[in-house]
């Protein structure tokens, strides 16, 4: 079971007895923390917050590096092909770990075999936003508009198979509407085009949208979590709006290269859990629109398998493919 940071805090006290004997690994050079997406999105923001605290705990630099492209596959391959010694980490989201294998006809690596789970890092509700010139003040009005103009309205995403894409496809299926998908290399680029009026809607993590919402550059219609989100209390949930079957939450998980020794994985898991136990980190996460959540490597492996099955069904129904 994936557990919230508050439930894990007592488990992260100083190791004693046999547990102390297990924790022997320590980095001997800076750790590369690969973000397989462009800078500016919630994955990037959360990774930098976590890396700061990990640097403090380890006494060794944890350096974030953005290597976006191909739905996260480029950054994922860097980690998959790295030396399996614990010095190369990946902050991966839903798309790379659960849907890319369903979408891409061929991948140069297998996330299930070539990457090793360390810990879940965060979950993030998403928000549906439109350009202010779109004549829809509610999600119901947007759906009515889309039904009146099938195939004419467009939505952007951070790439084929990313959670910003698959969650939007889930909403399309639930609402019975036809929207044109426009993929970008990151949510930041999609947001820029939305503000410019080049696309009509995007569904993205709250972290990447809250500033634009507050500045009046985009209009929020609904959040995709099971309930309203504290940063946007005035915005109804997608269930309140009438589509509970479209509830979805994205997440970020820390992975490393398959074959990394277990002492390194255990130590990195402990450091991540300790970092997420910090109230400072939790506050920074909340301000960024994400919720810090950790897990054991085994819990994360089970979680990824369940998510792969769930989003695989969406990919098949939406017929998402990349040649």
Per residue in 291-306, pLDDT (tens digit) is: 999 999 999 999 999 9
C-alpha 109/C-alpha 115 separation (Å) is: 9
CA dihedral (72, 74, 80, 84) in degrees, to 10, reads -110
Pairing relationship of beta strands 115-130 and 249-257 according to DSSP bridges? antiparallel
CATH homologous superfamily for the domain 128-246 = Periplasmic binding protein-like II (3.40.190.10)
pLDDT of residue 145: 98
Is the pLDDT confidence value at 1 over 70?
Answer: no
Is the pLDDT confidence value at 22 over 70?
Answer: no
pLDDT of residue 69: 84
Average pLDDT over residues 190-216: 94
Q: pLDDT band at 59, cuts 50/70/90?
A: very high
pLDDT of residue 160: 81
pLDDT of residue 247: 94
* Phi and psi torsions of 257, nearest 5°: -75, 135
Average pLDDT over residues 57-77: 94
pLDDT of residue 8: 35
Is residue 146 within 8 Å of 178, Cβ to Cβ? yes
Least confident range of 36-45, 57-66, 161-170: 36-45
Q: pLDDT band at 12, cuts 50/70/90?
A: very low
pLDDT of residue 192: 95
Question: Does this chain's domain 3-124+249-318 share its CATH topology with 128-246?
Answer: yes
Is the pLDDT confidence value at 23 over 60?
Answer: no
User: What pTM does this model have?
Assistant: 0.81
Average pLDDT over residues 27-36: 97
Q: pLDDT band at 7, cuts 50/70/90?
A: very low
Is residue 74 within 8 Å of 53, Cβ to Cβ? no
Question: Which string of b and e fits 155-184 if b means at least 16 CB within 10 Å?
Answer: bbbbbbbbbbbbbbbbbbebbebebebbbb
C-alpha 222/C-alpha 129 separation (Å) is: 8
Q: What is the CATH number of domain 3-124+249-318?
A: 3.40.190.150
Which of 174 and 188 is assigned the larger pLDDT?
Answer: 174
Which of 50 and 323 is assigned the larger pLDDT?
Answer: 50
Mean pLDDT estimate for the chain: 90
Average pLDDT over residues 43-68: 96
3-state secondary structure the chain: CCEEHHHHHHHHCCCCHHHHHHCCCCCCCCEEEEECCCCCCHHHHHHHHHHHHHHHHHCCCEEEEECCCHHHHHHHHHHHCCCCCCCEEEEEEHHHHHHHHHHECCCCCCHHHHEEEEEEEEEEEEEEEECCCCCCCCHHHHHHHHHHCCCCCEEEECCCCCHHHHHHHHHHHHHCCCCEEEECCCHHHHHHHHHHCCCCEEEEEHHHCHHHHHCCCCEEEEECCCCCECCECCCCECCCCCCHHHCCEEEEEEEEECCCCHHHHHHHHHHHHHHHCCHHHHHHHHHHCCEEEECCHHHHHHHHHHHHHHHHHHHHHHCCCEC
In this predicted model, what pLDDT tens digit does every residue of 117-140 receive, in sequence order? 999 999 989 999 999 999 999 999
Is the pLDDT confidence value at 18 over 70?
Answer: no
pLDDT of residue 102: 87
Residue 59 burial (C-beta neighbours within 10 Å; 0-12, 13-18, 19+): exposed
pLDDT of residue 323: 64
Angle at 293 between CA 304 and CA 157, to 5 degrees: 60
C-alpha 102/C-alpha 124 separation (Å) is: 23
Average pLDDT over residues 64-80: 93
User: Taking the CA atoms of the chain, what radius of gyration do you get in angstroms?
Assistant: 19
Domain boundaries, the chain: 3-124+249-318, 128-246
Tokens of 89: 């980490």
Is residue 57 within 8 Å of 275, Cβ to Cβ? yes
Residue 190: C-alpha distances to residues 13, 43, 139, 168, 302 (Å)? 42, 15, 20, 14, 32
């Amino acid at each position: 079971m994936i557990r919230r940071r508050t439930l894990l805090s007592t488990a992260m006290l100083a190791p004693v007895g046999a547990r102390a004997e297990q924790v022997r690994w320590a980095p001997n050079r800076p750790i590369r923390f690969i973000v397989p997406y462009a800078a500016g999105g919630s994955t990037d923001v959360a990774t930098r917050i976590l890396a700061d605290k990990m640097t403090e705990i380890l006494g060794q630099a944890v350096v974030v590096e953005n290597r976006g492209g191909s739905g996260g596959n480029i950054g994922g391959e860097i980690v998959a092909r790295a030396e399996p010694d614990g010095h190369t980490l990946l902050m991966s989201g839903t798309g790379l770990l659960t849907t890319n294998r369903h979408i891409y006809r061929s991948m140069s690596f297998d996330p299930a075999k070539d990457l090793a789970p360390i810990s879940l890092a965060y979950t993030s509700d998403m928000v549906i936003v439109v350009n202010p010139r779109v004549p829809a003040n509610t999600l119901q009005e947007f759906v009515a508009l889309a039904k009146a103009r099938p195939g004419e309205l467009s939505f952007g995403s951070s790439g084929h198979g990313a959670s910003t894409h698959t969650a939007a496809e889930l909403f399309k299926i639930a609402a019975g509407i036809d929207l044109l998908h426009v993929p970008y290399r990151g949510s930041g680029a999609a947001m820029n085009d939305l503000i410019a009026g080049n696309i009509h809607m995007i569904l993205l993590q709250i972290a990447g949208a809250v500033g634009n919402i507050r500045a009046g550059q985009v209009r929020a219609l609904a959040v995709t979590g099971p309930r309203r989100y504290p940063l946007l209390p005035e915005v109804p949930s997608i269930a309140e709006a009438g589509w509970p079957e479209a509830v979805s939450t994205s997440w970020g998980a820390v992975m490393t290269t398959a074959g990394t020794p277990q002492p390194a994985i255990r130590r990195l898991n402990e450091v991540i859990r300790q970092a997420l136990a910090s109230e400072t980190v939790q506050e920074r996460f909340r301000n960024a629109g994400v919720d810090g959540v950790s897990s054991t490597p085994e819990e994360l492996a089970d979680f990824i398998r369940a998510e792969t099955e769930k989003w695989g069904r969406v990919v098949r129904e939406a017929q998402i493919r990349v040649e």
